[in-house]
Amino acid sequence: MENLIIETCVHQGGVTLHDLPLKDNTPVKIIIIPRTHLQRLSFRQTRVLLQDIQGDLSDDVAEERARG
């Protein structure tokens, strides 16, 4: 599984990505994380922010890696 980290902004409720190094019609999973300086937050504040992420991300990543 290839991982890409791309920074962009939301414009009118949407996100547009250009020039990705992937073939057309490649299935992808997009994770959107609002930019926050977690280092400046207390541990408690960081936990509260991360609790809003739906699903079990680590299991999803492990499953993708196992599929190769």
The answer to whether residue 26 sits within a structural domain is no
The answer to whether residue 47 sits within a structural domain is yes
The answer to whether residue 45 sits within a structural domain is yes
- The per-residue pLDDT for range 3-31, each reduced to its tens digit, is 788 888 889 999 888 888 889 998 988 88
The answer to whether residue 29 sits within a structural domain is no
Q: Once rounded to an integer, what is the mean pLDDT over residues 33-41?
A: 71
Collect all residues with Cβ–Cβ distance below 8 Å to 24 and sequence separation of at least 6.
none
The answer to whether residue 63 sits within a structural domain is yes
At residue 47, φ and ψ (nearest 5 deg) are: -60, -40
pLDDT of res. 56: 67
pLDDT of res. 17: 86
Count: domains in the chain: 1
Question: Are the CB atoms for 6 and 17 separated by under 8 Å?
Answer: yes
Question: Are the CB atoms for 22 and 28 separated by under 8 Å?
Answer: yes
The answer to whether residue 8 sits within a structural domain is no
The answer to whether residue 13 sits within a structural domain is no
**Local structure of residue 38 (DSSP, 8 states):** G
Residue 68's pLDDT band, with cuts at 50, 70 and 90, is low
Mean pLDDT value across the chain: 77
Domain coverage including residue 60 = 38-67
